[in-house]
Amino acid sequence: MNGVAITFFTPQGNFFPQGSLSNAYRDIIAQVRVKGKLVSNDQNLSFYWGSENVGILSSSENYNKYLGRGWKCLNDKNIVAPATITTDPVIEWTPGTDTYRLKINEATAKNNRFKVAVVYDENIITREINIQNLAKNITSLSIVSNSGVKFYHDIGHPILTCLVNGQEKLNYTYAWAKEDNTGNFIQLQTTTTENDAYNQAIADFSELQ
């Protein structure tokens, strides 16, 4: 990209501390640099901001081609044509500025990933930033595996469990996704039937033992 890069500047810091007020915010400023020199805003750069959301697919109304799947675009938009059974929605996105004001109620997890995509000289440059919310009553998610996190000789069927604040919660709706080599999220199909069959097989096996 001929030495083109993005750096972030967060004047108020990159986290919300405990005791933050409900009107607290953090400005995220994307600075585009070419060979180390800051590019001025009068060059009409187009900024597209997004928050991590594994449920966003190319067929979603909040999908933006510059951000990719797994990212909810935060820019203003105009729905040119809504989605149909056979076609994706046609969305016209309004380019944003170099600054995104993140309000505390948008940071719904302890760790929140945001992404900016900048159109510069017909090239797309992206960068991600993590903003923490250390305020109380924030839901914490973790994923545990019952048989480790590595495959040996392509053997094994690990069971992944999502824990909410360290516990299994059955009254939640879960969406699973995997990240490809380019950083895009691919939503995984639900396997409720397969999971039920597997659990029944385990129960039958235990009963036989």
What's the pTM?
Answer: 0.74
Angle, vertex CA 165, rays to CA 147 and CA 73, nearest 5: 95
Domains and CATH numbers, the chain: 4-133 (2.60.40), 141-208 (no CATH)
Q: Is 186 helix (H, G, I), strand (E, B) or coil?
A: strand
pLDDT tens for 18-66 read 999 999 999 999 999 888 888 876 677 899 999 999 888 888 899 999 9
How large is the average pLDDT for residues 116-137?
89
pLDDT tens for 97-117 read 999 999 999 998 889 999 999
* Whole-number Cα distances in Å, 207 to 71, 150, 201: 45, 30, 10
Amino acid at 207: E
Provide the pLDDT for residue 25: 96
Residue for token pair 């360290």: 166
The whole-angstrom separation of Cα 137 and Cα 139 is 6
Provide the pLDDT for residue 50: 97
How large is the average pLDDT for residues 71-81?
94
Answer left, alpha or beta for residue 62, where phi above 0 means left and psi between -120 and 50 means alpha: alpha
The whole-angstrom separation of Cα 115 and Cα 32 is 14
